[in-house]
Amino acid sequence: MLACTLLASSVISAASPNALAGAPPTEFNEATVADLQARMAAGTLTSVKLTKFYIDRILTLDQGGSGVNSVIELNPDALVMAQKADDQRAKGQVLGPLHGIPVLLKDNIDTGDKMQTTAGSFALAGRPALHDSTLAAKLRAGGAVILGKTNLSEWANFRSFFSSSGWSGRGGLTRNPYSLDRNACGSSSGSGAAAAANFAAVSIGTETDGSIVCPGNVNSVVGLKPTVGLASRKGIVPISHTQDTPGPHTRTVADAAAVLNVIVSRTPDSDDPATSGVPLGWQGTGRTRPALPADYTAFLDAHGLSGARLGVTRQGIDNAPPQVVAAFDNAIAAIQAAGATVVDLDGAGFTFASADGEFLVLLYDFKFDLQSYFATRVGVPMANKTLADAIAFNSAHAASEMPYFFQEIFELAQALDTSGSDPGNNPQPIFGGLTYNQALAIDHTAGVNGIDAALSQFNLDAVVAPTDSPGWTTDLLLSDHFIFASSGLAGGPGYPIIQVPAANVLGMPMGISFLGTAFSEPTLIKLASGFEAATHARFQPTFTGNVTTPNTAGTTLIKPKPPKKDTENAVGRGGHGLRGRPTHRLGRSRSGWVPHSRQCSRCAAPSVWWSSTSAPSVRPRRNGSRLRPASTS
């Protein structure tokens, strides 16, 4: 069983973009955290060996202009951390489920070490963060090896309406390992792509609305977006304290549950009040934060769908191509075949309340939260600065920061009226006079009259929806191309989602999402692990330049043969030229030559040629054409 899980990738494209670097190492491809821990416990694997494996694979497949480009920086102390983990294990000290396991972190998560934390922007480049984020500190305390940082959509995709997911000024463009011309989605682009490509056992991203689950969807990995406040956001470059949360990208649900065991805040973090409260959707309802499970992996269940009752909403997928629609329909059929009861929420007339206040909430939070984060940094351009300073920095460094898109979202946030002692009640003209507090109330209602209402009205365990459409061809001019998405159902109220691989659509991955109310991660893990066991839908990437599909090559063209030249159609001899224009001209009189003429059959212009009075009536070939015989009349 263990040997099977450690088999190398069955196919690595012979046309790998980095073929000159040698064949990529594949020994530990698709190995789960539990598999790796078992081998290290048995003494057949060390953390140092595993860390070297991932470093070599990254250097082979990720780097260069035609690589995946998911890793923005390697930790220079990664092997030191790995050796420490091995030494601790030798002494019988195993600190947790990620002990000795290499982990990649999104480049908006502070690490108080030698690595940068920049959110992909040169505005934060310079001196590393002074301290670990709470998340990084928990990983270190649990014995994990922080392998490096992953690229992201710059500023977590909150700078421009016309951004291309996966691009940042510092990190360049992250590509989809299933087809390098396709998008890796975002904003946790590098995290999702790196997990898919087996560049680490685990990677960790962040989500405000879709930034974990969308990269999971297009990269065939599990993406777990926890309840807001389940894991601390201290030391993470923010968008919104109302909606932000970190979460894992892994190749299995079991690995995601193992990560959750390490990163959750079981006691309040004084620097993140959300860790002692409830998300927006529960606020004012009387519901309180429950006791957290000691072990989230205890809820893994290969038969987790049996007896479940799930509400399905299609969320616009019927506007997608038929193959995409069919993939979702097949996933729902698999859920039913595994023993779940499915309720068609759309068919029953249920409408999810919309989080129409979300954008104002995010803009308002961003303006304040970013300034608070800047105050924690030293030795970088934005140390102790404001959003206005970030806007000015981008304008002054437009060649590196804004070659493809600008900063309309930054400018909208800056334009909000945040003056006075109670700015949350200031009417915002660009939102028709809506206030921040009113927007919060709308998004709260989106939880109460959305997911919570569906669960209650139809007696459901969870809601199931298509995550996103498959990855589109990256277009730095025309921006991203989303057809549908379901993350907004949980984004505004701050509820959890687990995205799970569900299909292969013409070589590109596609997933489905299980959504629930706050702190329902145990139920979602049970359901998602049941779906995973029933479908085994994840497949490995091929790192090809583009997806190879049948019947796309077209016909084989045959070059037409040139016509035999004659004197009427020869350029310069009274024929027609290459563009169909008459090119008739009289030859020059030469001694011993006589002219002959007639009208051109195409345009009635005089056509003239010469022949020698002493030459034979038929001259030899010249330049491939036969000259006309001389007139004998």
The residues annotated as belonging to the active site are 106, 187, 211
What is the spatial distance between Cα 293 and Cα 279, in angstroms, rounded to a whole number?
18
Give the C-alpha separation, 98 to 75, whole Å: 17
Give burial (CB, 10 Å; 0-12/13-18/19+) of 258. Answer: buried
What's the CA angle centered on 320, arms 314 and 325, to 5 degrees?
Answer: 60
**Alpha-carbon span 361 to 473, nearest angstrom:** 31
C-alpha to C-alpha distance for 614 and 596, rounded to whole angstroms: 15
**What b/e sequence results for 270-286 when a residue is b if at least 16 CB atoms lie within 10 Å of its CB, and e otherwise?**
eebebbeebbbbbbeee
Q: Return the sign of the alpha-carbon dihedral for residues 215, 443, 312, 292.
A: positive
Asked if residue 304 lies in contact with residue 526, where contact means CB atoms within 8 angstroms, the answer is: yes
Q: How far is CA 614 from CA 595, 598, 608, 618, in A?
A: 13, 22, 19, 11
The angle, 0 to 180 degrees and rounded to 10, between the axes of the packed helices 47-61 and 33-42 is 140
Number of other residues whose CB lies within 10 A of the CB of residue 562: 7
Q: Which residue spans within 442-552 are E strands per DSSP? A: 462-466, 497-505, 508-515
Which pair of tokens denotes residue 455? 């669960």
> Strand, helix or coil at 416?
coil
Is the sign of the CA dihedral 566, 572, 577, 578 positive or negative?
positive
Cα of 310 vs its chain's centroid, Å: 28
Distance (Å, whole) CA 353 – CA 492: 11
